[in-house]
Amino acid sequence: MFTATPPRKIEDNIPDDLFSAIADLKQELNAVILAHYYQEDDIQDIADYIGDSLGLSQQAASTSADVILFAGVHFMAETAKILNPHKLVLLPDLEAGCSLADSCPPDDFAIFKAKYPDHIVISYINCTAEIKALSDIICTSSNAVKIVNQIPQDQPIIFAPDKNLGRYVIEQTGRDLVLWDGSCIVHESFSEKRIIELKIQNPEAEILAHPECETPVLRHADFIGSTTALLKYSQTSSSKQFIIATEPGIIHQMEKQTPDKLFIKAPSTTNCNCNECPYMRLNTLEKVYFALKNKTPEIIIPEETRIKAFTPIQRMLEMSKN
């Protein structure tokens, strides 16, 4: 029996040249594409700005574009929306979440916070708008130490949600932080044993690690920093080889900046691709195109939550200037 071909959905009409189709839509909408280093290479290549969480927030705070296409995960796009309530903020895939943000449910955190009434809350930006609304100051991996160092010594602090970054900040500042028990599945996947084996095979290589990694991995690092800091270090170091203990999307920029250097992905505990962030990788060039074309999926935040979440982000942006 003859069966008619079902009509093609509009989403099937993918242009042959996605790069120029995205450029046209960007111009039409006066849109800016902000991308995190963990995005796939093609998305990084069409972005107007690529950066770490602090750089992306600063760009979001200062852009004159009418539309922000955020090529990253939900909490990042949410931060852009908190800073720009009147702009259209698009996230190519709304499912692009974050295990760290998920590890801190707002109701549980409110109960935890109530146990420490004298403490202020400093939250890592990798958290939901609801957690930001329960916080006093936001920080990122690039300014966490700097921000904690600006808090008077006698002021007790809760640090949420990343216990690994929290431990690193305790070590760097000598402060006694109360930590929420959250973590990132990607940065906890690295194997200390296999990194040591890799280092033995590549004795000239420097180990660069993100502070979301666990302490046993961090203690082997030659340099610890945010993604932007790791990228800068790889450019200025005289070393020619590096073992990269963070999401390997950053290697695209490292190779572009210094093509003569060798960048090796730090291994996970199993032979999986667990060091690739499954949330970041949900975004694709096709989804970027359709988000701009259809002006959806859009980030929407209840205004009451947005207003409460705005102040601690604004404090972070101010304190980062000091």
The b/e string for 188-209 (b: 16+ C-beta within 10 A; e otherwise) is bbbbbeebeebbeeeeebbbbb
99 binding partner (options ligand SF4, ligand 13P, none; Cβ < 5 to 8 Å by kind): ligand SF4
22 binds, among ligand SF4, ligand 13P, none (CB under 5 to 8 A by kind): none
Kindly state the number of chain residues that form the binding site for ligand 13P, as judged by CB under 6 A: 10
Taking the least distance from each CB to ligand 13P, the nearer of 95 and 204 is: 95
N residues, the chain: 322
Is 80 among the residues that bind ligand SF4 (CB under 6 A)? no
By C-beta, is 84 or 183 nearer to ligand SF4?
183
Contact flag: residue 162 with ligand 13P (CB under 6 A): no
C-alpha 231: how far from chain center: 14
Specify the 3-state DSSP secondary structure of 59: helix
Count of other CB atoms within 10 angstroms of residue 256: 12
Q: Does 58 participate in binding ligand SF4 (rule CB under 6 A)?
A: no
* Dist CA 100 CA 229 (whole Å): 21
As a whole number of angstroms, the distance between CA 38 and CA 258 comes to: 18
- Residue 43 as a binder of ligand SF4 (CB under 6 A): the answer is no
Judged by CB under 6 A, the residue of 84, 103, 128, 141 near ligand 13P is 141
Query: Is 57 an interacting residue with respect to ligand 13P (CB under 6 A)?
Result: no
- How many Å apart are CA 245 and CA 267, to the nearest integer? 8
Residue 185 partner contact from ligand 13P, ligand SF4, none using kind-dependent CB cut-offs of 5 to 8 Å:
ligand SF4
| Contact present, 284 and 66 (Cβ < 8 Å) | no
Binder of residue 279, out of ligand SF4, ligand 13P, none (CB less than 5 to 8 A by kind): ligand SF4
Query: Taking CB under 6 A as the criterion, which residues in 220-279 touch ligand 13P?
Result: 226-227
274 binds ligand SF4 (CB under 6 A): no
Contact status: 126 vs ligand SF4 (CB under 6 A): yes
Give dist(CA 308, CA 322) in Å, integer: 23
